[in-house]
Amino acid sequence: MKIRKEIFFYIFWAVFFLYGIDNQIFERLFFFNEVLALIGLVVVVHQLFTNHKNVVRLVQSQPIVIGVLGLLVLSVVHLIFSLGRMTNLYYYLRSSVIVYSIFTFFFAYFGYQYLPLFLSKIRYTMAAYLLFALIYPSIYLLERFMGAVFFPLLFKKYRWWSVSAILSLSVMLSVQYESLTVIMVMVIVLLVIVLPSYNWFKLFFFVGAGAIIFGLIYFTPNIEKYNEAPYSVIGNVKAVAESHKILNLDGNSTWRVVFWHRVIVERFPENLLGIGFGTPLLPFIKNLDTIELEHDDEYDMHVSGVHNTYLTLGLRLGILFFLILGFIFHQVLKYYYKQKRLLIEHQQLFYFYSFFTVAAVGLFNLVLESPTVASLFWGFLGIITAIITKTRTYEEISE
């Protein structure tokens, strides 16, 4: 029976890695995000029936699990109440990816014990594939962010040269796939790596958040120019960019700032409790396509996010989402800085780097609201939560 369980989890981990590295094929054609979420649900049900007491003990002793369950409950509540306020059933179901993808966390948490051996068997194959995708870049081989997420897993032992190699590969990825965002993500991850303590991280975080808030307030008169003609569902980004030389430095950043401003200011105070699922982010005119995306405005305003996954979910789920997510990140980062040496000793540190990378991607792109990435976030969070639980056992033994 034990061998059969191993084989099953090896197959499940293969699904996870294929989904993460090449979502253009394995999610868009074979719906691997939904497969992983279903596996997670089955694992939870199985654990409840076979190890009920252990599950209860886990929930009581592991704060991150409590936080994830809190987000799941919050999402389900909004899913129920959104039945009476949604504008379209398809868009409602399409947005439900935010809810069911959370179950991937439980698959990764309970399946972590099989991951190190599985990874040791595929590491060289994965390295060869990623190298090929760097030499011959194609969106059908590798999504621009996903290489940076999986590069840390190519290494086992923590050395200065391994960290340098990860960063160098990410720079190469940025060049080959023409993505400045990859560099921005790696700057954030590098900051997490080099900061000496959690107190330093909190200082940088609050200073950075304060600077962003100050910038949004300072540039509000410029951003308000979005409502000038011609009409666009997001607004006249060109007019905003031309109103100040800083706002004209990067068009991608400018339209994000306009989008963020509108969902924060225009949707207040409704966004405090959340707008739910199947509802538009901004007002739209039916049958118009005014932005350079694949679908029309109605689809984009219902399905796409604001290119900051945390702001998107905060808009849909309300301020309580930020409080719970902040609690989860607090637990992860506090443990990472406190037990970094123990994680290095047990060769588990690079899993944290992968999680930090996909979490940083969420600052600039769709993650938790997208079926092509959502299970990657929840999967790596499940992995590092299992590691935290396991290393706490090491601490108890050593004491």
Give the pLDDT confidence of 326-338 residue by residue, as tens digits.
999 999 999 999 9
pLDDT band at 101 (very low <50, low <70, confident <90, very high): very high
Could you give phi then psi for residue 57, rounded to 5 degrees?
A: -65, -40
Residues composing the chain: 399
Give percent of the chain above pLDDT 70.
97
Instruction: Specify the higher pLDDT residue, 175 or 399.
Output: 175
Q: Which of 284, 224, 222 is nearest to 247 (CA)?
A: 222
Give me the residue label for tokens 């923590």: 158
**What is the pLDDT averaged over residues 75-81?**
97
Question: Lowest-confidence range among 154-168, 276-290, 381-395?
Answer: 381-395
pLDDT band at 396 (very low <50, low <70, confident <90, very high): very low
The whole-number pLDDT of residue 223 equals 96
> Has residue 220 got a pLDDT over 80?
yes
> Has residue 363 got a pLDDT over 50?
yes
**What is the pLDDT averaged over residues 23-46?**
95
Average pLDDT, rounded, for the chain: 93
The whole-number pLDDT of residue 33 equals 98
CA dihedral 330, 332, 333, 334 (to 10 degrees): 70
The whole-number pLDDT of residue 134 equals 96
Give the pLDDT confidence of 168-177 residue by residue, as tens digits.
999 999 999 9
> Has residue 178 got a pLDDT over 50?
yes
Give the pLDDT confidence of 58-72 residue by residue, as tens digits.
888 899 999 999 999
The whole-number pLDDT of residue 393 equals 55
Work out the angle between the directed axes of helices 198-218 and 319-338 (0-180°, nearest 10): 150
> Has residue 398 got a pLDDT over 70?
no
**What is the pLDDT averaged over residues 359-372?**
96
The whole-number pLDDT of residue 92 equals 97
CA dist 321 and 68 (Å) reads 11
> Has residue 382 got a pLDDT over 90?
yes
3-state SS assignment for residue 284: coil
CA dist 374 and 25 (Å) reads 16
Query: Tokens representing 52?
Result: 């009920």
> Has residue 313 got a pLDDT over 70?
yes
3-state SS assignment for residue 101: helix
Instruction: Specify the higher pLDDT residue, 20 or 143.
Output: 20
The whole-number pLDDT of residue 247 equals 93
The whole-number pLDDT of residue 6 equals 87
pTM: 0.96
pLDDT band at 397 (very low <50, low <70, confident <90, very high): very low
Give the pLDDT confidence of 230-285 residue by residue, as tens digits.
999 999 999 999 999 999 988 888 999 999 999 999 999 999 999 999 999 999 99
**What is the pLDDT averaged over residues 357-368?**
96
Give me the residue label for tokens 């707008």: 275
H/E stretch holding 68: helix 63-81
